[in-house]
Amino acid sequence: MSTVEGKIFGMSLRHAILGLLSTGPASGYDLLKRFEISLANVWPATQSQLYSELNRMADADLVKVAAEGPRGRKEYAITDAGHEELRHWLVDVEPERQRRSDMLLRVFFLNLVVQEDAVAYLHKQADHSAKQHNDLVALKEALADEDGNLAVYGRIALEWGLRFSAMSRDWAEWAETVVREARMDDGLDVGLDVTDKRDAGHLG
Q: Beta-carbon neighbour count of residue 79 at 10 Å?
A: 19
Environment class of residue 68 by beta-carbon count within 10 Å: exposed (0-12), middle (13-18) or buried (19+)?
exposed
Residue 11 banded pLDDT, cuts 50, 70, 90: low
pLDDT surpasses 90 at 124: yes
Three-state DSSP class for 75? Answer: strand
Q: Beta-carbon neighbour count of residue 95 at 10 Å?
A: 8
* Lowest mean per-residue pLDDT among 40-49, 55-64, 157-166, 186-195: 186-195
Q: What gap in Å lies between CA 53 and CA 42, rounded to an integer?
A: 18
SS (H, E, C) 25-81: CEEHHHHHHHHHHHHCCCCCCCHHHHHHHHHHHHHCCCEEEEEECHHHCEEEEECHH
pLDDT surpasses 50 at 199: no
8-state DSSP, 130: H
- Residue-wise pLDDT for 36-83, tens only, equals 877 766 777 888 999 999 999 999 999 999 999 888 889 999 999 999
Rg from Cα positions in the chain: 23
What amino acid is encoded at 131 in this protein? K
pTM above 0.75, yes or no: no
Which of 162, 43, 47, 169 has its CA nearest to residue 103? Answer: 169
pLDDT surpasses 80 at 151: no
